[in-house]
Amino acid sequence: MSLRDKLLNFLYTHRGFIKDPCRLPRHVEKKRQEVRHWAEEEILPVVEELDRRAKEEFPWEIVRKGAEIGLLTDLIPRTFGGGGRLLDFFRHGTLHGALIIEELSKVCPGVAVIFGAHMLGLLPILLSMDFKAGRRFLSRVTDAARSGKPELCAFAITEPAAGSDAEDTHGARRAKLLTYAKKKDGYYVLNGRKCFISNGSVASIITVFAATDKEKGIDSWTCFVVERGMKGFSVGRIEDKMGQRASPAAELIFEDVKVPSANRVGREGEGWKLNLLTLDTSRPPVGFIALGAAQHAVRKGLEYAEKEGLLRDRHVQHIFADMLMKIEAARTVVWRACSTFPPVSWLSATAKCFASDVAMDVCSRVVDFMGDEGVKVGNEVEKAFRDVKLTQIYEGTNQIQRLSFAEDYPGLNRKNKPFRVF
Amino acid sequence: MNLYQQIAGAVESFVKRELTELSADMEKGDVDAWERCRKWLHETVLHLAPLSEEHGGVGLGEQELCGVLLELGKASASFAVALLSHYAGIYVLQSLNVTVDRNMFYASAGLLSHHVIAAPFIHNAVVVEAGRVELVTGDQLRERSNQVALLGLQGCSVFVTTSDVHAKELGELNLHEQKHIYARVQNLLAAVAVGNAMDALRIAEGYANERYQGGDVIIRHGIVQEILGRMKAKVLLSEAGVLKAAAGGTEDKLMARALAAVLCEEVCVDAVQLLGGYGYMKDYVVERKLRDAKTIAALDRGSTALFKQVIEEKLL
Ligand SMILES: Cc1cc2nc3c(=O)[nH]c(=O)nc-3n(C[C@H](O)[C@H](O)[C@H](O)COP(=O)(O)OP(=O)(O)OC[C@H]3O[C@@H](n4cnc5c(N)ncnc54)[C@H](O)[C@@H]3O)c2cc1C
């Protein structure tokens, strides 16, 4: 065979081989497989029940198993007993953790969010680089995970009168942010309410953002760790949600909660910047939650098409090609955003917004394609549709993502640099 | 006031006075709430609305029926679809010249959905399959069929008929008749979708006028105005399509149904979005509207298949 033939042969036969945007380290790939296996073998069989009975029972068994695999601690640096390295953050961003979340989301976005919200709760402590807070709380999380009695974290910014306003600087300056921490000698007295907090009813460690000066508003926003069991802290209503029902969203009530100064994360007044950094870091993984669910819906749709003998129909192929093209495109941008650290606001917003819009479109179309079967409860596809809608809302609605993009994208905002040239 | 105006008034006042409040209980399958609706139908004789006057019915035309179902769909898509399923049964029986029992509640399969979608108080189901029409009693359905739940339209009884259900043969519809009834039913289904979306729009607009974010009520933000504007246009277009198709042919009806289902689902997706986190919670009705809208859009073979079918059938 001539060299030319060999080369052509190579080109013709290797066309299915796609490189991921970056090669994953072997241990990450291994963990991904492990999580996939666990999710399919152990979580999938109970997904329907989790969806039905969510408000009654929290799936601690799943959390315990997740803790064994390292899902609660992989983000935490080894200094504090975790499995991660600070350097990893700079090299890969949140990509490795987010890919694990994607695996969980393929089976149940609600379960994915239990772990996702935990990581979100940890992020302010990690990103603040407050060593004291890290030693106090991150070590506690790793110790608990190791002991078999895992403790979860949560992240609380949303208030009844400030949802989008807690996500967007323009709104926040005009917002009615009512959670307030009054400084005393050696402690703060925290009063107010947060709502819709994922893991709020089950978390032991909650990163809560509050103003320390009513006049200054977000300029005085500060992050505190509120611990379960603190006097004056209670859980209010637990929401009855349309989807992602395995993950509880709760109202948190603070009535004269005495929060020790040692529970402050970072400096006083640093809260708003820390909040934005946290959100920019956590938004891209939401894209993976959305796409995980969408991929699962497509898989179910394909199974249905095969069962009905429709897979050879070119119109059906067209429908699926269209959906998968969008997923592929969205996944590329989410991958890119997740592996960018420090995060870039416009890229994070793009990833979250685009992926969740694509996922919503895809899930809706799979339900439609399956017709009567698509809307039947228990078929996993209707659940994907319900679950995915939330990804367009939390971590900032998709309208707020566009505002965040506009604030940051070079050339879109007059304060900014010239228009980005590719 | 003509008969239709009287009926429209009665429907509107029932929707406002009772159905809106009953709908949450109906979704949970509350028998009393459904029973109240059944009584109301008997009082107004609306359960016989499509039956001609000579057969003891009200003889409402298609446009008027669209109006009734649209209005009911605003408050409870479940109730409206269950009633439509009953109407579909009546259409078939009439077409076969089978006497409709005025005290019975029918449901149908094969016109609205392949499943039997029924009010919990159903007596008989008219099952159409490849032109063949069979009658299955409600008791048999309850005993021998699998009962399933749907994403939306909850509170309706949904049966997936199994082969051991004993059915009574009623006759056969020719292809033309079957298509004609199918298209009528589909257009009426679209009317329910429009009503459902109209109410979602009303709620979203009300919320946008009250919710402060970004330093103002959110309706003052350009993007919210655009979204609401699009929602309004979609509802307007769907409604116009459905009403026009009611007087049109089979093809018009199927297209109106497919388009209304798609647009009304989009309206409900946006309504949830405009209510933010609150929209995602069961206490706020819009999440139910979205589930209902998606279910209506996907019933039978879904909107995509319908769009294709309209053209495909012309080629045959
Ligand atoms: C299940 C669930 C879990 C959640 N988990 C958490 C959590 O763990 N921690 C936490 O802190 N929060 C959490 N949230 C809150 C979530 O981030 C907020 O719901 C979200 O930011 C939207 O806020 P909102 O619900 O108050 O909607 P609103 O802010 O009231 O928005 C209503 C509508 O107005 C639009 N809008 C608002 N402001 C503007 C503007 N300036 N310009 C244009 N349009 C605008 C929005 O896009 C939306 O369509 C959760 C929410 C849900 C539903």
pLDDT tens column, A19-45: 666 678 898 999 999 999 999 999 999
Q: Does A5 fall in a domain?
A: no
Q: Which of B65, B199, B85 is nearest to B153 (CA)?
A: B85
Residues of B in contact with A175 (CB under 8 A): 213, 215
Q: How far is CA A85 from CA A66, A95, A145, A337, A356, in A?
A: 20, 13, 18, 19, 30
What size, in residues, is chain A? 422
Q: Does A417 fall in a domain?
A: no
pLDDT tens-place string over residues B33-73: 999 999 999 999 999 999 988 888 888 999 999 999 999 99
Question: Do A130 and A206 share a structural domain?
Answer: no
> Between chains, do B304 and A394 touch, taking CB under 8 Å as contact?
no
pLDDT tens-place string over residues A306-364: 999 999 999 999 999 999 999 999 999 999 999 999 999 999 999 999 999 999 999 99
CATH of the domain at A99: 1.10.540.10
Q: Does A18 fall in a domain?
A: no
Residue B6: pLDDT band with limits 50, 70, 90 = confident
Nearest atom in ligand 1 to the alpha carbon of residue A395 is 17
Q: Does A416 fall in a domain?
A: no
pLDDT tens-place string over residues A107-131: 999 999 999 999 999 999 999 999 9
> Ligand 1: distance of its center to the CA of B274 in Å?
9
| Residue A422, pLDDT score | 67
Q: Does A362 fall in a domain?
A: yes
Query: Which of B216, B282, B294 has the highest number of chain A CBs within 10 A, making it the mutation to test binding with A?
Result: B294
Which chain A residue is nearest to residue B258, measuring alpha carbons?
Answer: A368
For residue A54, pLDDT over 90 is answered with: no
CATH of the domain at A290: 1.20.140.10
Final residue in a domain of this structure, among A151, A171, A193: A151
Question: Do A396 and A285 share a structural domain?
Answer: yes
Given the residues A103, A328, A395, A407, the one annotated as active site: A395
pTM for the full predicted model: 0.96
Question: Do A258 and A353 share a structural domain?
Answer: no
Q: Which residue has the higher pLDDT, B239 or A8?
A: B239
Query: Which of A169, A368, A386, A401 has the highest number of chain B CBs within 10 A, making it the mutation to test binding with B?
Result: A368
Question: Do A252 and A287 share a structural domain?
Answer: no
Which chain A residue is nearest to residue B117, measuring alpha carbons?
Answer: A372
> Between chains, do B214 and A164 touch, taking CB under 8 Å as contact?
yes
Contact B69, B80 (CB under 8 A): yes
d(CA A97, CA A94): 6
Q: Does A12 fall in a domain?
A: no
Residues of B in contact with A160 (CB under 8 A): none
Question: Do A240 and A183 share a structural domain?
Answer: yes
How many Å lie between the alpha carbon of B55 and the closest alpha carbon of chain A? 34
Q: Does A9 fall in a domain?
A: no
d(CA B195, CA A262): 56
The encoded tokens of residue A32 equal: 């991904």
Question: Do A163 and A137 share a structural domain?
Answer: no
Q: Does A6 fall in a domain?
A: no
Question: Do A344 and A229 share a structural domain?
Answer: no
To test the pocket of ligand 1, the residue of A394, A401, A407 to mutate (highest count of ligand atoms within 8 Å of its CB) is A394
Question: Do A31 and A146 share a structural domain?
Answer: yes
Question: Do A215 and A171 share a structural domain?
Answer: yes
Residue A30 belongs to domain spanning = 26-151
Rounded to two decimals, the ipTM of the complex is 0.96
Please calculate the CA angle A198-A204-A208 and round it to the nearest 5 degrees: 60
Among this protein's residues, is A328 annotated catalytic?
Answer: no
Quote the longest CA-to-CA distance of chain A.
84
Q: How far is CA A363 from CA A108, A383, A385, A389, B148, in A?
A: 14, 9, 5, 9, 21
Contact A121, A127 (CB under 8 A): no
Amino acid at A63: V
| Residue A89, pLDDT score | 81
Domain boundaries B175-315, corresponding CATH code: 1.20.140.10
Residue A421: pLDDT band with limits 50, 70, 90 = low
Question: Do A146 and A64 share a structural domain?
Answer: yes
For residue B3, pLDDT over 80 is answered with: no
Minimal Cβ distance to B276: which of A364, A371, A393: A393
How many structural domains does chain A have? 3
Final residue in a domain of this structure, among A95, A123, A151: A151
Final residue in a domain of this structure, among A126, A151, A176: A151
Residue-range domain boundaries for chain B: 97-172, 175-315
> Between chains, do A368 and B280 touch, taking CB under 8 Å as contact?
no
CATH of the domain at A180: 2.40.110.10
Give the contacts of B309 (CB within 8 A, at least 6 positions apart): B254, B301
d(CA A28, CA A396): 29
Minimal Cβ distance to A241: which of B223, B281, B304: B281
Question: Do A225 and A337 share a structural domain?
Answer: no
Question: Do A81 and A179 share a structural domain?
Answer: no
Mean pLDDT of chain A: 94
For residue B305, pLDDT over 80 is answered with: yes
Residues of B in contact with A360 (CB under 8 A): 269
